[in-house]
Amino acid sequence: MAKPEQPDAAGKEWTGATATKFDNKAYSEYFDPCQEAADKSIRCLKRNGGERAMCSDFFQAYRDCKQQWMEARKEARKNKPWFS
């Protein structure tokens, strides 16, 4: 079994284009910065007939991506001025 690629965003900071896109999205618009990792896990499930055990690396990569994103958002909210 091949080892899954790390999500593109996992190695870089959660600033720049990703953060700007998230901050400027419409209130009702859904934006998932880890969509690439989610797509890879879904493709793995389809390729392996729904066998979750074979895709655990992809699921873990998605969870790691989400955790990094949530920590970065918490930090950004903490450092943001109250009245801006």
pLDDT tens readout for residues 37-65: 999 999 999 999 999 999 999 999 999 99
Considering only CA atoms, which of 20, 21, 5 is closest in space to residue 64?
5
pTM: 0.67
7, pLDDT greater than 60: no
8, pLDDT greater than 70: no
CA distances in angstroms from 72 to 3, 14, 52, 59, 83, listed in the order given: 26, 6, 29, 20, 20
Whether the CB-CB separation of 9 and 18 falls below 8 Å is answered with: yes
Considering only CA atoms, which of 82, 56, 80, 60 is closest in space to residue 7?
60
Domain boundaries, given as residue ranges, for the chain = 34-78
Q: Which residue has the tokens 């989400």?
A: 66
